[in-house]
Amino acid sequence: MKLYSALFVLSLIWGMSFLFIKVLLGIFDPWQIVFIRCLVGIITIVPLFLISRQKVDWKTLPVKKLLLVGFLNAGLPWGLIAWSETFLDSGYTAILNATTPIWTSMMGVFFFSITLQWKQWTGVIVGFVGILLLMDIDAPGLTKNQLGLGIILMLAATCCYGYSSQYAKKHLQDTTVWVTASSTLFAGLLLSAFMMLLTEGWKLPEDPLNYNVLLSIIGLGVFGSGIAYLLYYFMISAGSAEFATLVTYLVPVSAFMWGSVLLDERIHPSAFWGLLLIFAGVYLTGKRGKKKNDLNLEHDRTA
C-alpha cells in the first residue's frame, strides 16, 4: 500500500514539474533551472535529514557511485528536459517522459545482464512506434528540426533515468534513501554549476521575479526535487527500478491537465495515439514471467 501511495503522490508532483519548468523558462535558462531546483531541493531535504537523526557511516559511503547516479538521475536529465521544453509544450515532454520504463528495461539488457521475454521486446517495438508517431506531428510554431531536437533531448533524458535507476538498484541497495536523495541533488548542483560557467548562465535574469515564478521555484525545488526524490528512491529500495519508473504512466495525465488549464496548451490529436502506443509498450515491457530470480513487485511484496 505504501508503494502505491508513493507512486500516486509522486505522479502528481512530477506532473506539475513540467508546468513549473515551462514557467521558469520565461526567466531562466535550462541550467539555471537545474541549479535552482537542486539547491532548493537540498535546502528542503537537509533539515529533514538532520531532524530524523539518521546515522551515516561516512567512511564507507560509495561516493563515486552516488555521484554517478546524481549526474544521471538529476543534473544531466533535468538539463535536457528543460532544454527540450524550449521547443516542446509540457504535455509533449510528459508523453516522452513516459518512455522511461522502456529505456529502463533496455538499459537492463545492455548493461545489467537482464533478459527480456518476447512480450517485453514487443512492448519496446510498440513504444518506439508511438515515438515515431509523435515525430510526425505538425507542431504549431515549430519546424521539423526543432520538433525532432526536442524529442531527441527528452529521449536522452529518459535514457539517463533508465540507466541510473538500474544502477542505483544494483549498487546502492544498502545506502539509505536519505543519503541517495541528498547526494543526487548535490551531484546535480555541481553539474549544473559547471554548465552555468560554460554557458554564462551565472548571469542574473533581467526580468523581476513575479508570483508565478516564485511559486514555480518552490514547487519545482521543494516538491519536484526534494520530496519527490525521497519518494522515488524509497520505491526503488522497497520495490524495484521498474516499479519506480512506472510513475511515468500517470505523469502525462496530470501534465496534460495542468498545461491545458494554466498554460492554455493544446495537444495535437495524434499525440494521444502516440501516448496510447507508448503506454501499451510500457505495459508489455513491464510484463514478466513468474521466475524466482525476478526482481519484480510481486516478489517484493512477499519479502
Global pTM reads 0.79
Of the pLDDT bands very low, low, confident and very high (cuts 50, 70, 90), residue 137 is low
Flag whether pLDDT at 298 surpasses 70.
no
pLDDT of 264 reads 67
Dihedral sign for Cα atoms in the order 149, 154, 159, 160: positive
Cell of 85: 521544453
Distance CA 236, CA 144 (A): 37
Q: pLDDT digit string (tens) for 251-282?
A: 776 676 666 666 666 666 666 677 677 777 76
* Higher per-residue pLDDT: 300 or 217: 217
Q: Are 34 and 192 in contact (CB under 8 A)?
A: yes
Q: Are 15 and 94 in contact (CB under 8 A)?
A: yes
Where does residue 152 rank: exposed (0-12), middle (13-18), buried (19+ CB within 10 A)? middle
Q: Are 192 and 38 in contact (CB under 8 A)?
A: yes
Q: pLDDT digit string (tens) for 62-105?
A: 999 999 999 999 999 999 999 999 998 877 788 788 788 788 88
Angle made by CA atoms 38, 87, 13, in degrees to the nearest 5:
40
